[in-house]
Structure 1
């Protein structure tokens, strides 16, 4: 069978493409990073340089595929709305059009639990929880719009499933843990508000497992959305301290109240928008929320309907990440 993985040069997309290839499938991966694309090609994966907003290229690459895994997106806490819209909304609509045109068996869409959060405490959030009236950033806004497009496609007969994986980490991660490590190395890490900040993080290969389960899940799972985590609520600062200890480095904290941090972030965002021509500020309101508010998800639905069960624990995952990080 022929598989298409969008975002194939991204963290999750690479892992998925390699797993599918190792399972014996014929895999095509799209993405923007030509360097990583060459690595994919060296491992027997067809790579197509294809920005998601390029409708004609997207339609062409969808042809003759059996399954499409749509993990491609612009993921960042900061940036221009137009860029997020083009990648996340237009890109998804193009994938939907290609899926409909060529009659794929299933479109498996990767969304985000960022749509749940709005600067507050939320624990054990279920998939149909009330969403905020305004989303935290352009990324969350446009990913929700992409979900709406997916829902419309399902209503018109397209077989789709959506997963919402939380905070991916593991070897190859260039976002969550690496950013925290670099902050700790440069100076003190802000410790905002309470010290008991519970979060979900998810080992990347567990997310790949969830995506593969979506290929052959029961018919009643079509059109559904599923939270995906490691199902281990954990203190954010314990994770950071665990990682830094394994790297033989000390974590220094700078305590700051939530009100002060949020106000500072709001000021910095305003300066960035008005004076710095949109340059990402060193602190955003979203980052303040992530570092200070407990945010956890329920994955009961994924366990019951998909048969999902995380195989690699957070502790095992951190070990694998640190071993990889040390040789970079």
Structure 2
């Protein structure tokens, strides 16, 4: 990612912080006064114009001020994110105390999800650790009229052949679906159907159902999820319109684990807007981290909110929960 000039970095960071705090567009004079930028309003206004030309800021139709664009949030997260405050250290100590009081894993995950949501003011989600015992190596798809021939290569080079009926109008999805399965299985990964792009749902669902009927362990990504703070998400002004909140609630009802697609590594990930594979989340950001139990199974910890979120706090919080679970379950 191209490094911005120092002044533009300062202005972008201040604009993000102002918008996260207030939800209101901001002008150059306010940035100078509130954040103590050592420059004139004209200089800051010029920097804001340059950031807008780069696509990092945008100007709402009804305001003279600017707000961050999804690309602006991405640059902020990748290059300008400040260190979390002392609150994250206090949270980690508190989570350790919570973990000592619970014997049942589901009860513990629910309590951790509740505390995570309370700490950040965002919707939280934790998936239980899951492991697939049957490892897929490759899938090859050959369309033939209205049917799809599927060759599945699993552990020990065992091959399975399936013959399934293609849903009407989905033949054009086959090539893209095979590329998606290749990317998922690369490097020993697993199929995560929560990560299936919306445009491949028709053909992908047929393949998922066929794999599930052949061997349930060949199909992953159907684990449950412990969720807290849905009302906090839908109460945000970004979701005051029903056409934005309805897809979120439908996804929550049908497959809540899809909010946090499985991550094979133990690092964190931040999805911003349209980066997420689920189109229902195109107006959201998802901050997640993975944790691992002693048997190698992994689960996800995630926070979901509007793109206008406190990313440093959110990332530190999910990493605190993931570290707590790593330590407890190891």
Q: What TM-score do you get using the length of structure 2 for normalisation?
A: 0.22
Larger Rg: 2
Q: What TM-score do you get using the length of structure 1 for normalisation?
A: 0.22
